[in-house]
């Protein structure tokens, strides 16, 4: 099995390590703009070949994982076209699916493309924080294109399962709405909550000094890469605006109940939310 990786960051590195663990004889080739992750991945015996160009190194791949930010992934499509064969399954790991599917259908309509998104990660980035354990037991969204055959989908699902992931197959639009609610809005909320405290803090910075477990837990993701999250927000802006409007309305309802001293209404909101949150599968 030959597998290509376009960009070797946190998620790409974790998947590559998972493939190396599960398929020790796999041939893995990786492109990355900066040299250091490639050097380390080679030292780790994760990859067999490193390149800083999109070239014939990617010919005859069984799978190619696009692991850069969404817009950057799109810029690689034409460069990869000469090296794709009929057996190649191309996939990505981006947080939004609509835009990459649109670009693939326009530029590479016959390519066997299956969008992918492992629901895993940390606030840290780069290959140097990657681990095959990061993706184990995670849910992994799969969004097949029209050109992907049933055999392609089954083959890719088997690969994902072999890495310890749980595939969920949905349409690209449904994926973008789901992750808008469970990932994108929470990141925006975390960033803006941190900004609120920064703007409202005392001159002695007592808020910053005393911020403890609860605040740190709810704002952990605000330490994520701001460039990446800017791109994600813009890529999923329609869903994000709709969901943020709904969230703002819920905040207004809670604000009104607090202002009115309506303890019964507050208790119901908090009780319903607690019961729903407690029902999540850990």
Distance CA 27, CA 62 (A): 10
Nearby residues of 157 by Cβ (< 8 Å), 6 or more positions away: 142, 167, 169
Count other Cβ atoms within 10 Å, centred on residue 194.
Answer: 18
Distance CA 194, CA 158 (A): 41
**Beta-bridge mates of residue 51:** 31
Nearby residues of 32 by Cβ (< 8 Å), 6 or more positions away: 7, 8, 38, 50, 52, 127
Distance CA 136, CA 144 (A): 22
Distance CA 47, CA 38 (A): 8
- This prediction has a pTM of 0.91
For 40-91, the three-class secondary structure string (H helix, E strand, C coil) is: HHHHCCCCCEEECCCCHHHCCCCEEEECCCHHHHHHHHHHHHHHCCCCCEEE
CA 144 vs. chain centroid, Å, equals 17
Q: Please report, in tens digits, the pLDDT of each residue of the chain (282 residues total).
A: 999 999 999 999 999 999 999 999 999 999 999 999 999 999 999 999 999 999 999 999 999 999 998 889 999 999 999 999 999 999 999 999 999 999 999 999 999 999 999 999 887 889 999 999 999 999 999 999 999 999 999 999 999 999 999 999 999 999 999 999 999 999 999 999 999 999 999 999 999 999 888 899 999 999 988 988 998 999 999 999 999 999 999 999 999 999 999 999 999 999 999 999 999 976
Domain boundary assignment for the chain: 2-170, 175-278
Around 111, how many Cα atoms within 13 Å sit in the side-chain half-sphere? 27
CATH architecture label of 175-278: Orthogonal Bundle (1.10)
pLDDT of 182: 95
CATH label, 2-170, candidates 3.40.50.1000, 3.40.50.720, 3.90.1150.10, 3.40.50.300: 3.40.50.720
């Amino acid at each position: 099995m030959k597998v290509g990786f376009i960009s070797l960051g946190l998620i790409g590195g974790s998947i590559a390590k998972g493939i190396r663990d599960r398929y020790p004889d796999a041939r893995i080739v990786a492109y990355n703009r900066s040299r250091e992750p490639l050097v380390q991945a080679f030292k780790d015996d994760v990859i067999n070949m490193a390149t800083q160009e999109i070239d014939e190194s990617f010919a005859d791949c069984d799978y190619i994982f696009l692991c850069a930010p969404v817009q950057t992934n799109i810029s690689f499509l034409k460069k990869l076209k000469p090296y794709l064969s009929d057996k190649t399954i191309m996939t990505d790991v981006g947080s939004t699916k609509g835009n990459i599917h649109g670009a693939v259908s326009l530029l590479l309509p016959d390519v066997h493309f299956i969008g992918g998104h492992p629901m895993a990660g940390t606030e840290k980035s780069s290959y140097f924080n990657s681990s095959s354990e990061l993706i184990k037991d995670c849910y992994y969204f799969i969004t097949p294109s029209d050109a992907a055959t049933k055999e392609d989908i089954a083959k890719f699902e088997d690969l994902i399962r072999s890495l310890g992931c749980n595939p969920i197959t949905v349409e690209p639009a449904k994926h973008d709405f789901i992750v808008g609610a469970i990932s994108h809005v929470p990141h925006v909320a975390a960033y803006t909550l941190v900004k609120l405290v920064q703007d409202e803090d005392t001159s002695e910075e007592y808020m910053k000094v005393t911020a403890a477990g609860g605040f740190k837990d709810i704002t952990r993701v605000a330490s994520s890469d701001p460039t990446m999250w800017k791109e994600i927000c813009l890529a999923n802006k329609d869903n994000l605006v709709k969901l943020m409007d709904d969230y703002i309305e819920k905040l207004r309802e809670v604000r009104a109940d607090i202002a009115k001293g309506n303890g019964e209404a507050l208790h119901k909101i908090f009780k319903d939310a607690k019961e729903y949150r407690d029902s999540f599968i850990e």
